A and B are shown apart, each in its own frame.
Chain A
């Protein structure tokens, strides 16, 4: 089979709030990405309204990129409009943070390289 549908209700039940709850869905998506070319996550219009859950379960995939082409392989079905907006907000926020972290790291590497060349 080429695709799999993960039903939020079946995977998480009513536990859709914490990062630990989100980790369960994250793992199921991750496993499925290894076996299927397309993973459909069916939200059935169930409103989540939890930044922790959505960050851990969904957004994390787009930053870890353990499988290639996550953007085209994960399909989010039946996500309410406010949750779509929240996912977007979390994504933008994470992007900003990651680039800040990358800049910090680059600066650190540059300064340690300069120290090393100074010593030489």
Chain B
């Protein structure tokens, strides 16, 4: 869908959001938001036609509003006619961010669904996985564990490698229409390529696309002198074998991985990394892990 940008009146710039504010629109949305970030006029995000906002879309809008707030500039949301989406904008905390005039009040620390973290905070993965599982209503304990593990993994990656002064966002949401759970973690840090180049794991002239592919290889890590963790490789293997998808955007490349699909898409440059995991509650199942008695651990 093409976005429309219009001058609403002399003091406002309006960005018309599409029906579905999701990953497929992220490139256009990022371009639009980047263009309007420093405008002195009030930016109105017109969400009247919106019926769905993915966690990734939510983060992009929230991040834009926060950065405008840091510049003492205003953002407003024209609320959707769609009741559930209007509720979501309110309950997720997105509305509060756009209405705040003070950066310190913009984010409710008790909010679960959408958070901006300066560092890894206790209980965030537990609360968010519990929140999404309650929304989905049909997620069993094994699946809830996986969900929590992935949220923890994405957050610790952002915490350990992003080196972002601004912090990192996390958002999760269940869609009852397609039964999909989506989790998104985004930081505005140094990006995957720089992180691996700084650790001497990749040459300086490597491009963002190759750097993301390398990051998904077994054993790749930016930790010096150590073997890599399971990390993103674990999540990508899982979504490929159980259904779902993993999208990684870092620098000027975006990689989309699903069961039999791998798409590499050139993207508007993004300073940092966005990781988006999506899976279906009908296909998720407990991990097929090895029997405990094959390991050296002594459990009591």
CB distance from B148 to the nearest CB of A (A): 4
| A75 and B298 contact, CB distance less than 8 A | yes
Separation of A18 and B155 alpha carbons in the complex (Å): 9
Across the interface, A17 reaches (CB within 8 A) one of B152, B227, B291, namely B152
Separation of A52 and B290 alpha carbons in the complex (Å): 19
Separation of A84 and B290 alpha carbons in the complex (Å): 10
CB distance from B233 to the nearest CB of A (A): 9
| B227 and A101 contact, CB distance less than 8 A | yes
Tell whether A50 pairs with B160 under 8 Å between CB atoms, given A76-B298, A91-B296, A97-B227: no
| B298 and A72 contact, CB distance less than 8 A | yes
B163 CB–A CB distance under 8 Å = no
| B297 and A92 contact, CB distance less than 8 A | no
| A17 and B296 contact, CB distance less than 8 A | no
A71 CB–B CB distance under 8 Å = yes
Closest residue to A59 on the B side, CB-wise? B297
CB distance from B199 to the nearest CB of A (A): 14
Separation of A58 and B296 alpha carbons in the complex (Å): 11
| B289 and A50 contact, CB distance less than 8 A | no
| B228 and A97 contact, CB distance less than 8 A | yes
A3-16 interface mask toward B, CB cutoff 8 Å, 1 = contact, 0 = none? 00000000001111
Across the interface, B290 reaches (CB within 8 A) one of A20, A88, A97, namely A88
Tell whether A86 pairs with B219 under 8 Å between CB atoms, given A75-B300, A91-B295: no
B198 CB–A CB distance under 8 Å = no
Main secondary structure, interface of A, reads helix
Closest residue to A78 on the B side, CB-wise? B300
Taking residues whose C-beta sits less than 8 angstroms from the other chain, chain B's interface range is 35 or more
CB distance from A19 to the nearest CB of B (A): 6
Across the interface, B149 reaches (CB within 8 A) one of A49, A91, A93, A97, namely A49
Separation of A98 and B228 alpha carbons in the complex (Å): 10
CB distance from B267 to the nearest CB of A (A): 28
Closest residue to A77 on the B side, CB-wise? B300
Tell whether A89 pairs with B152 under 8 Å between CB atoms, given A18-B160, A75-B298, A84-B299: no
Tell whether A17 pairs with B125 under 8 Å between CB atoms, given A71-B296, A76-B299, A86-B149: yes
Across the interface, B230 reaches (CB within 8 A) one of A18, A20, A85, A93, namely A93
CB distance from B64 to the nearest CB of A (A): 28
Tell whether A49 pairs with B299 under 8 Å between CB atoms, given A18-B159, A97-B218, A97-B228: no
| A18 and B156 contact, CB distance less than 8 A | yes
| B298 and A74 contact, CB distance less than 8 A | yes
Separation of A88 and B295 alpha carbons in the complex (Å): 6
CB distance from A64 to the nearest CB of B (A): 10
Tell whether A97 pairs with B297 under 8 Å between CB atoms, given A18-B156, A51-B234: no
> Which 4 A-B pairs rank lowest in CB-CB distance, beginning with the nearest?
A14-B122, A85-B289, A88-B295, A49-B149
Q: Which residues of A contact B (CB under 8 A)?
A: 13-21, 40, 47, 49-52, 55, 58, 62, 70-72, 74-79, 82, 84-94, 96-98, 100-101
Q: Which residues of B contact A (CB under 8 A)?
A: 120, 122-123, 125, 141-142, 145, 148-149, 152-153, 155-156, 159-160, 218-219, 223, 227-231, 234, 287, 289-292, 294-300
* A76-B299, A92-B290, A100-B219 known, 10 other contacts, Cβ within 8 Å: A18-B159, A52-B160, A74-B297, A77-B300, A86-B289, A87-B297, A88-B289, A91-B296, A91-B297, A96-B218
